Structures are given as structure tokens and as C-alpha cells.
Amino acid sequence: MNNLIVSPAPHVHTSNTVTKTMLNVIIALLPALVVAVIYFGMGALIVTGISVVSCVLFEYLINKFLLKKACTIGDLSAVVTGLLLAFNLPANLPWWIIVIGALVAIGIGKMTFGGLGNNPFNPALVGRVFLLISFPVQMTTWPVPQGFATKYIDAVTAATPLSAFNEGATEMPSYLDLLLGHVGGSFGEVSALALIIGGIYLLARKVITWHIPVSIILTVAVFSCILWLCDNTYMDPLTHLLAGGLMLGAIFMATDYATSPMTHMGQIIYGVLIGIIVVVIRTWGAYPEGMSFAILIMNAVTPLLNHYCRPRRFGENPKK
């Protein structure tokens, strides 16, 4: 008989791993990527490729040469960061800006704090907001969806539905266009339908729970509906829900494990506050879109929510 292994209980373990979790997120993002390629052509693929490759490369280099720690790119979390960063960019962004964004996302957003799980802010959003503030012109020059094209840089550009509305436009794209993604914008956020399909996949695979996305979506719907009913020059609730980065943010960015609260109670409060902040920024703020800022602001509140929203202990306020 071999020497026996002695270790503390439990002796069995779930087959779930970090890598499988990240792989599920990648699979869930694929429908949105397919839609992006259909509407924006090769540009979307090139931006995604540059972003993913540079995120993985930066994580590898930082681990190897700066932190001198074991290589962690195998957990695929850098791929997810790269995908999410790319999804928040216009499809004609110059390559060097993408590389800078990836460096900020992985270097400052993630590895500075000790890698996966230790970052207080969503790394992809850190990278995205850094780029938005540093390169406002390039970051808000949105190509028009022209169908599959091989051109990368020289696309025809136009405003996004949200920025057009912000500037007083009266003609808005139809709800169907918003749902399918036949509008201008960051290429990963345009199709609400593709993102919802990905969200349903994540729910089915139990990667995320309904608490964060549903509380964000419901809050935005209710809050914007109240505003719209009071004064119908405000944007209508359905456009609020379908346009901009709301679905991408609610399903994929706000649900990021490390930066969202641990308990369901905390998650619901977090989601409701994101919903309120995003409608406030869109309605009265200087920027047409506020999803990135809303999530980053609430990321900062997450530790506080974790502190106050403890799970209900067994035997606490027992219902008789």
C-alpha cells in the first residue's frame, strides 16, 4: 500500500475553478463580439485582439519581472479584462491608445493591488476611463455601423444615440436598432440582445446571480420612467435601458466578483445605487453616458456595503 495522504476535511471538492469561471464569462461575451464584427467589421476584431493580447502580455511581464511571482495568465482573467476593455472602445481606435489602455487596466487597475481578486476597481473600467479622460477626441469618435468592412481606421463616424440626445437631437434610432445593435457606440455595447443572451448564459451556469443586473435594470427603468412621466423631454425608459453601456455594464462589469459586494443584500443596494447614479449622470451630467463612472463610484462603496450588509446569521431573528 502507498503512503496514505492525511489532510483535513472536506475530502471532496467542486469541479468549478477560476479558469472555468473566466472561460464562461468569455463564452458569454462571444455573441456581442459576433454582432460587433457584423456591424463594424474587422475593426472590432483588431481592437479586441490588440486589447486581449496586450492585457495578457502585461500581466505576464509584470508577474515575471516586477513582482517575480508565479505566472497567473492561465486563469484567463486577463483575457476577460482585455475583452471588456475592448468592448468599451470605438472600433476605429488607434492601436497605441489601446495598448496604453491595457497597460493602465492591468498595471494600475489590477496588478498594483496584488492581482486577481485584490483590485478595488474594475480594471477594464479603470483603463477605459483613463483613456476617455486622456484621449477625449479619439475615444468619442464613433464609427457608424456599416456592415462588415475590412477597413480599420478610416470609418465614417457619427454620434452615439446618447450623445446625440445629449446634444438635443430629436430623431432617435428605433428600439429594434438599439436591441440588435445597429447604432454607433463602443462596439461591444451596441447590441442589448446579444448581451442579454450572454447574461442568461452566465445565470444558467451560476457564474453570476440575478441580484446585481436585475436591481440595476429595474432601478434605471423605474427612475427614468418617473422622470419621463413628469416631463417627456427627458429620455424615455426603454432607450435608457437599450442604449449606451447599460446592459454591458449591468451584466458584465458591475457583476465583477472582486469589486461587487459579497452578500445579496449588499448586491441589491449596490445595483440600485448604480442605477440611480447612471440616470443622474445621463440626465443632468456633462457626459452623455455614465455607466463607467457609476460602476467605479460604487466599486469604491463596496467595502462599506460588505461591512454593513452581513448575511443573516443562523438563529438571528428566527421566524417563529
Partner 1 sequence: MRTFRIGGLHPHDNKEFSAHKAITDVALPTQAVVPLAQHIGAPTKPVVAKGDKVLVGQVIAEAGGFMSANVHAPVSGTVAKVDSIVDSYGLPMPAIIIDVEGDEWLPEIDRTDNIISTIKAEPKEIIGKIQAAGIVGLGGACFPTHVKLSPPPGNKAECLIINAVECEPFLTCDHQLMLEHGEEIIIGIDIICKALGIDKAYIGIEGNKPDAIAKFEELVKKAVNHVEVVPLKLRYPQGGEKQLIDAVIRRQVPSGALPIATGAVVQNVATVYAVYQAVQKNRPLVDRVMTVTGPSVSNPGNYRVRFGTSLNDVIAAAGGVPEDTGKIICGGPMMGRAMANTNMPAHKRTSGILLLPESMSTRREPENCMRCGKCVDVCPMGLEPYLLSKMGDMRMWDEMEQHNVMDCIECGCCLYTCPSNRPLLDYIRMGKATVGGILRARAAAAKAAAEAAKAEEKK
* Binding residues for partner 1 (CB under 8 A): 1-2, 4-14, 16-18, 20-21, 72, 75, 77, 114-118, 257-258, 261-263, 310-316, 318-320
DSSP 65: I
Query: DSSP letter at 309?
Result: -
Q: Give me the least distance between CB of 42 and partner 1, in Å please.
A: 33
Could you please report the per-residue DSSP string of 163-220? HHHHTT------HHHHHHT-S-SSTTTS-HHHHHHHHHHHHHTTSS-SHHHHHHHHHH
Return the number of the residue (142 or 252) whose C-beta is nearest partner 1. 252
Nearer to partner 1, 169 or 310 (CB): 310
Our CB check for partner 1 shows the closer of 239 and 260 to be 260
Compare residues 167 and 316 and give the one whose CB is closer to partner 1: 316
Across the chain, how many H-helices and E-strands are there? 14, 2
Residue 53 has which C-alpha cell? 493580447
Least separation in angstroms between residue 315's CB and partner 1 is 4
Report the residue number, 68 or 320, with the smaller CB distance to partner 1.
Answer: 320
User: What's the CA gap between 166 and 302, in Å, rounded?
Assistant: 30
User: Any idea which residue has 451556469 for its cell?
Assistant: 205
Q: How far is the CB of 200 from partner 1 (least distance, A)?
A: 19
CA triple 78-81-86, angle to 5 deg = 125
Q: How many residues does the chain have?
A: 320
Q: State the minimum distance, in angstroms, from the CB of residue 21 to partner 1.
A: 6
Sign of the alpha-carbon torsion through 51, 36, 209, 9: negative
The distance of closest approach from Cβ of residue 280 to partner 1 in the complex, given in angstroms and rounded to an integer, is 27
The residue (of 117 and 136) whose beta carbon lies closer to partner 1 is 117
CB of 313 to partner 1, least distance (A): 4
Q: Answer whether 225's CB lies under 8 Å from 237's CB.
A: yes
